[in-house]
Structure formats: structure tokens, C-alpha cells
Amino acid sequence: MKCILVTGAAGFIGSHTTLVLLNAGYKLYLLDNFSNSSPIALSRVAKLSSLSKKEAQERISIIDGDVRDFSLLDNVFSTSKRNGERINSVIHFAGLKAVGESFEKSLDYWDNNVGGTITLLKVMVKNSCRNIVFSSSATVYRPKNEAALIETDPISPINPYGITKATIEKMLADIGGCQSTASAQQNSSKGWRIACLRYFNPAGAHPSGEIGENPKNIPNNLLPLINQVGIGRNKSLTVFGNDWPTPDGTGIRDYVHVMDIAEGHKAALDILLSSKPQLLIMNLGSGKGTSVLKLIHIFEVTNGIKIPYEIGKRREGDSAISLADPSQALKYLQWEAKRSIEDICRDAWNWQYKNPIGYL
């Protein structure tokens, strides 16, 4: 049985990916320090899976701990060996992800994201594990504002969060013996199998409404903020500018359903484990752009609720358009986003409506 360590498993994308992996038959070691998540997410994942309670207990080991803790991680690898189910791959979600906060607390971002990955990689090397799928981000690109972003576009992030992601990509390319991070596929001369998945705007929730996005602090992203207005926690949404160079003047993003993203991880892992050592760097996006006003409209029509909004100033550091060219993921991973923007709006609201105060 394939055995995987998932860091940040209780988070938004981690919990949905864990469900997909569990249903696909993997044995999972799930590590999280719960700094931005709840252990309840993992118990709901187990219940949602196709496994019986007993099977789920056998297939999941939960570790409450920090990815920067070398001895703890090393111990997880040793335990897996003792249990005769050696961890052979890692999916690395753990990290801090708020762009705005990364300006205020940039050292925390370097420590958690870059420091955490260095510790993880050291433990992986010690335990001869050289297969990793890493959560990168569209923020590594220099905003382009007119056409879709492709993997060969310049890497030039404009905030500390994006800089940590670009740094980790470079580090992974380096240990893999690869030249650069500006190519979708390169062979690894050092026996590593690495996928850096550059997510665009993950959103939505599992259609059951049992798991979803549950940030501990005030949400930053558009869909959770629309949900907060829908549920009555906020009176209205502030649209950050209607003077962008886009058809309706509001920012355009590439929203991609979190279940599509979760399936993208399984696709990447399957390809890595069945082919030669290589570095894959892939956009995970839908290739379709939606403006803020259009998203509000689709959310209202899909869910039959009104989202009052007002037009505010542009948010510092924003760009007009962020859109993926997802053709390399289709070519190399046979992956493409299947779910629509309506699915995203319906599932996001279903999660919020069923869990008005999150995992409690």
C-alpha cells in the first residue's frame, strides 16, 4: 500500500486532498499544528470517506505537530517503517498563506514556509524519501494583466508570501539537480520526483458541506468574504476598485474548485510515482476568468440570496487579472478543472450555511 505524509492536512486544501487520497486507497500520516485549522476537519474526512470506522482508523495516523520539528518528523518516518508501511512520498501543504499578513510578519513567513520546508527536506533525505508534491501559488508570477500566465513566464513575486513560495520552488529545483523553475518539466539528475503545483484561486467546498474553508482569523479571500455577508456576519462586501482595466472594472481571477485541486494532487502523485525522476511545475487553474461583480451575480443567482456590496478603493498589491494557462497540467498530469464557477458558488455557500460558525 502506498504510504504518504501529508503536512497541513487539516487545512482547506489538505482536508479535501486527504479525502481523495483516502478513497484512492493510500495509507496516510497526517501532520498539522492546527494553527489555522481544526482536528474536526480530519474526523469529518474519515466519516465522509468510503471506509468503515475501523478501516479509517487503520489507514489514518494523525500527528499534532509542527513541520519545523525535525525530531518529530523523523519519528513519524521511523514509526512508518516500524509499522512496515514506509512513507514513500510527501504532500506538503503546511505553511502560512495570507498575502497581507506576510508584509507585517515576514519573518514568520520565512520561518514557517521556507524554514519548515528545509526541515522537512532534511528529514526526507535522512529517510531516503525523494518524492514530494509542493503547494506553490500563482503569486510567484509577476502579474501580467492581459493574457493567461504560463509556466515559462517570469517569476517575480510582489509580496513576501509569494517570495517564500518562489524560494521553495528554487530550493526544490536545486536539490533535484534541475536548472530553473521556468519550465514545466525537467529531468532530475539527483533521483528526485517533485511537483510544484501553482494554484490559482482555490474556492468552493466538498459538495456534502461537511468540509470547507475555515480560516481561524478574519478571511482575506473573496468567496469566504461573500459567505460572511450571506450568513449575516458582515453587512456588505467591499469591492476593491471598479477602475481596473477589465470589462466591468473589477478584478478578474481564475477560481478553481477545491475538489479539482485535490484531484490534481492525486494526478501529480500518480504521474511522479510511475515515471522517471523529474521536476514538474504546473499551473492548477481553470483557464477561465471571473470578475468580482460577475462572481457576486453568479453567487446570488445560484444560491437565491442577495449579497449587498459597495465599491471601495483598490487593495494595495492587487492586480487586474490573474488567469492560468492550464495546458501543461493537461499535457503532463492529464488533469483539468471539471467543476464550474456555479459549482464553486453553490458548494461554498452550502458549506457556510451548514456550518455558520465553522467546525464547532
Q: Judged by CB under 6 A, does residue 135 bind ligand NAD?
A: yes
What does 240 bind: ligand UDP, ligand NAD, none (CB cut-off 5 to 8 Å by kind)? ligand UDP
CA atoms of 11 and 134, how far apart (whole Å): 14
Q: Dig out the grid coordinates for 200 from the structure.
A: 490559482
Active site residue 29: no
The single-letter DSSP state of residue 306 is -
Residue 18 Cβ vs ligand NAD, minimum distance, rounded to whole Å: 11
Phi and psi torsions of 252, nearest 5°: -110, 130
Query: What x/- string results for residues 61 through 100 when contact with ligand NAD is judged by CB under 6 A?
Result: -----xxx------------------------xxx-x---
Q: Judged by CB under 6 A, does residue 12 bind ligand NAD?
A: yes
Phi and psi torsions of 206, nearest 5°: -60, 140
Applying CB under 6 A, the site for ligand NAD has a residue count of: 27
Which C-beta is closer to ligand NAD: that of 240 or that of 311? 240
Phi and psi torsions of 332, nearest 5°: -95, -30
Residue nearest to ligand UDP (CB): 251
Check 26, 109, 141, 161 and give the catalytic one.
161
Q: Judged by CB under 6 A, does residue 145 bind ligand UDP?
A: no
Q: Judged by CB under 6 A, does residue 239 bind ligand UDP?
A: yes
- Nearest CA among 173, 156, 154, 200 for reference residue 323: 200
What does 251 bind: ligand NAD, ligand UDP, none (CB cut-off 5 to 8 Å by kind)? ligand UDP
Query: What x/- string results for residues 266 through 305 when contact with ligand UDP is judged by CB under 6 A?
Result: --------------------------x-------------
C-beta of residue 333 within 8 angstroms of C-beta of residue 267: yes
CA atoms of 249 and 320, how far apart (whole Å): 9
Residue 203 Cβ vs ligand UDP, minimum distance, rounded to whole Å: 8
What does 199 bind: ligand UDP, ligand NAD, none (CB cut-off 5 to 8 Å by kind)? ligand NAD
Using CB under 6 A, which residues numbered 241 to 260 contact ligand UDP?
Answer: 251, 253
Q: Judged by CB under 6 A, does residue 103 bind ligand NAD?
A: no
Q: Judged by CB under 6 A, does residue 108 bind ligand UDP?
A: no
Q: Judged by CB under 6 A, does residue 14 bind ligand NAD?
A: yes
Could you write out the DSSP letters of every residue in 186-219? EE-TTS-EEEEEEE-EEE---TTSSS----SS--
CA atoms of 226 and 232, how far apart (whole Å): 10
CA atoms of 256 and 288, how far apart (whole Å): 9
What does 253 bind: ligand NAD, ligand UDP, none (CB cut-off 5 to 8 Å by kind)? ligand UDP
Q: Judged by CB under 6 A, does residue 70 bind ligand UDP?
A: no
Contacts of 268 (CB under 8 A, 6+ apart): 133, 195, 197, 280, 282, 333, 335
Q: How many CA atoms lie within 13 A of 77 on its CB side?
A: 20
C-beta of residue 271 within 8 angstroms of C-beta of residue 282: no
CA atoms of 236 and 239, how far apart (whole Å): 9
Q: Judged by CB under 6 A, does residue 101 bind ligand UDP?
A: no
Catalytically active residues, by annotation: 161
Binding site for ligand NAD (CB under 6 A): 7-8, 10-14, 31-37, 66-68, 93-95, 97, 112, 116, 135, 137, 199, 202
